[in-house]
Structure 1
Amino acid sequence: MSKAKVTVLGINGHIGRHAALAFRDAGYSVSGFGRINREPIDGVAFIKGDAGNVAEIVAAIADAEIVVNALNLPYDKWDKGRAEAQLANVIAAMGDSGKTMMFPGNVYNYAATDRYMRPDTPQRPQTPRGAIRVRQEATLAAASKAGKFQTIIIRAGDFYAPGNVGDWFDQAMLMDAGKGKVYYMADLGVGHAWAYLPDLGRAFVAVAEQRQRLGGFETFHFAGHYQSHRAMLAAIQAAAPVPLKAAQLPWLLFQALGLAVPLLREIVKMRYLWNNPMELVDPRLEAILGPDFGTPFTAAVAAATIPFLAKKAA
């Protein structure tokens, strides 16, 4: 039996790219939607289009049974209803199709005091950005409970992967690697939720293959690698071909620069995520994925670190 067709909206984004790779490698027919084909993927058809145009989204997903909605606005452009409007376009394009929408969630929905974040943990966002994500998920829940389409949310921690550009891993921790320095984000003993994107992409596939057994609206939490800042620092230093001196990220400098740079101002608002141990937990997803699903932590960090440092050196 042939596998379902998949369209990834936001093929140039990090989760979009890795979801496309994972579905392709699992034998699915995959298309990717975006304004430009920034990094063509062998075996993935590119569909040029604008996420602000509902008709173009409709055309892109017309023959897809699974739609991975990996669209995301720049970090400082979520407010003024813009993030909700982008999602509303996709919901309008999905219509009453009965298709499956897969949506990557994050931890912004929860409070700093939520030591363990389970799918049934009450959502108490403590930032405007978190409130936006809660509203988006509520909108998806309403549409799916009305029978329009199935929604599957997979929530994960901070991304890292080989070749990634623009995540905390490369933009913060390794931003001065060329100067022989690596930053840690908070007190070394505090844990943090990380998601190695090749593993997360495969998790999307594993859950998609169970979609016919799932309800109209489902939320899963991808545990990924929950590690202390000390462990992440040590793994990076062990993988690096040259010594890297450790220092704490200069948050006060970021805060000062944020007075003039909106992006940095928004980044500083999310500091609480690094200062508090917030772990994603989901036995149901673990059962779907099975034992020994993910890449071992040190191997994953090395796979992300080594090419980044090689590029820096070049």
Structure 2
Amino acid sequence: MTHHLVLGAGGVGRSTTSALVALGHTVTLASRSGRVTEQPWAATHPDAVEIVAVDAGDSAAVTALARGAASIVNAVNPPSYTTWDTDWPPVAAATLAAAEASGAGLVIIGNLYGYGEVAAPMHEDDPMRPTGHKGRIRADMWTEALARHERGHVRVTELRSSDYFGPGTTPRTSYLNDVVIDALLAGRPPVVPAGRADAPHSWTYVPDVGRLAARVAAGDDGWGRAWHVPTAPARTFDEAATDVARLAGVKQRRVRVLPRSLGTAAGLVVPFMRELRETRHQFERPFVLDSELTQRTFDLRPTPWDEALVATIAARRTTTPARAGTAA
């Protein structure tokens, strides 16, 4: 049994904590507020997790928490999509400093932005070719961390996912949850702010992120490279909406997409829409993650698509009870 520090108490941080506890480890789970309302491990392992408040950009504070930990899992989610330029650099610097000072391995929860605009399924060894500032921020974080690993200063890995879905996601972190599932459960057609409804897209189930993070954090064989989180075959918005309606027993509704010109115009006055311009290519053409290498290496498989959707639908209905009675 080893001890681990998980930074960030959103869906990924909680899933990672649950998976580590299930493997017999203990965890310090740190968030900005120090408040975690959903604690799925509490019923069976109430003493395995300590919850604390910390600023993940405070190098001294993170280093102090990391003493004695086998790993640091950076599952931080900056509070605003529009302020990555100022939010991410101090967190990246603090976690690297804490890992180097404590000897803990650093597991970075990453994404696919660094690959830029792609024309084929993405693999872990594909080069970083970001086409926007958010992609450059994430690519630079990984490049610096890997360089320190190669110099022998730290042990690092990055786990890359596509867009999240699943129980426990925080608001505005899941297109599939917030835009598709919630709309259908409420009896409304989903309205997607960018992209095409018929473009294949990979969707990563949050508990699968946690399982891989726990496996790598507690092991000796995942360091020094990036891994793709096991992810089910890609589904278009249209296909996903059809599947949700079938499994939820609600009326099937056509997915609507905001015209590109309107999205561009909205970006002139709405900061979030302006930031979406950088990543809308991910929804306008096939955006597919290949996770076969990770699956073979760690003998892990993605949660079956229908099973993951059923669990997500049930969770969304529970968190907003009024939806439970929505008729087809």
* TM-score, shorter chain, exceeding 0.5: yes
Q: How does 1:89-104 map to 2 (within 5 A)?
A: 89-104=94-109
Q: 1:64 aligns with which of 61, 64, 69?
A: 69
Could you tell me how far apart the structure 1 residues matched to 2:32 and 2:89 are? 20
SS at match of 2:225: strand
Q: Deviations over 1:273-304 (max 9, x none)?
A: 1122232224431113326x322101111211
Could you tell me how far apart the structure 2 residues matched to 1:27 and 1:256 are? 52
Q: 1:313 aligns with which of 293, 301, 323?
A: 323
Cross-structure match for 1:248: 256
Q: 1:78 aligns with which of 63, 78, 84?
A: 84
8 A Cα contact 1:104 1:153, kept in partner? yes
Aligned pair 1:193/2:193, yes or no? no
Cross-structure match for 1:169: 176
Could you tell me how far apart the structure 2 residues matched to 1:223 and 1:213 are? 17
Cross-structure match for 1:7: 5
Cross-structure match for 2:59: 54
Cross-structure match for 2:29: 32
Q: Which amino acid aligns with 1:26?
A: L
For residue 132 of structure 1, report the CA deviation from its aligned partner.
1.0
Q: 1:75 to 1:224 in 2, by over 3 A?
A: same
Q: 1:245 to 1:188 in 2, by over 3 A?
A: same
State the aligned residue count.
Answer: 307
Could you tell me how far apart the structure 1 residues matched to 2:14 and 2:259 are? 30
Aligned pair 1:238/2:246, yes or no? yes
Q: Which amino acid aligns with 2:147?
A: A
8 A Cα contact 1:35 1:48, kept in partner? yes
For residue 86 of structure 1, report the CA deviation from its aligned partner.
2.1
Cross-structure match for 1:286: 295
Cross-structure match for 2:160: 155
Could you tell me how far apart the structure 2 residues matched to 1:183 and 1:302 are? 21
Could you tell me how far apart the structure 2 residues matched to 1:198 and 1:50 are? 25
Q: How does 1:83-232 map to 2 (within 5 A)?
A: 83-164=88-169, 165-166=171-172, 167-174=174-181, 176-177=183-184, 178-183=186-191, 186-210=195-219, 212-215=220-223, 217-229=224-236, 230-232=238-240
**Aligned Cα root-mean-square deviation (Å):** 2.2
Which deviates more, 59-68 or 84-93? 84-93
Could you tell me how far apart the structure 1 residues matched to 2:64 and 2:164 are? 30
Compare the two structures and name the one with the higher strand fraction. 1
Cross-structure match for 1:277: 286
Which deviates more, 253-262 or 149-158? 253-262
Cross-structure match for 1:295: 303
8 A Cα contact 1:155 1:219, kept in partner? yes
Could you tell me how far apart the structure 2 residues matched to 1:226 and 1:86 are? 32
Q: Deviations over 1:124-168 (max 9, x none)?
A: 111211111111111111221222221011111111112323221
For residue 256 of structure 1, report the CA deviation from its aligned partner.
3.2
Cross-structure match for 1:259: 268
For residue 305 of structure 1, report the CA deviation from its aligned partner.
2.0
Structure 2 residue runs of 5 or longer lacking an equivalent are: none
Q: Which amino acid aligns with 1:197?
A: V
Could you tell me how far apart the structure 1 residues matched to 2:265 and 2:177 are? 21
Q: 1:84 to 1:76 in 2, by over 3 A?
A: same
For residue 83 of structure 1, report the CA deviation from its aligned partner.
1.6
Q: 1:174 to 1:297 in 2, by over 3 A?
A: closer
Could you tell me how far apart the structure 2 residues matched to 1:54 and 1:136 are? 16
Structure 1 residue runs of 5 or longer lacking an equivalent are: none
For residue 66 of structure 1, report the CA deviation from its aligned partner.
1.1
Q: Which amino acid aligns with 1:18?
A: S
What TM-score do the two structures reach when normalised by structure 2?
0.85
8 A Cα contact 1:181 1:246, kept in partner? yes
Q: Which amino acid aligns with 1:162?
A: P
Cross-structure match for 2:18: 21
Which deviates more, 170-179 or 117-126? 170-179
Q: Deviations over 1:239-265 (max 9, x none)?
A: 223214222232544443332221222
Q: Which amino acid aligns with 1:117?
A: M
SS at match of 1:117: coil
8 A Cα contact 1:8 1:31, kept in partner? yes
Could you tell me how far apart the structure 2 residues matched to 1:112 and 1:187 are? 15
Q: Deviations over 1:12-57 (max 9, x none)?
A: x221121111111221101101122132522321022222322211
8 A Cα contact 1:241 1:306, kept in partner? no
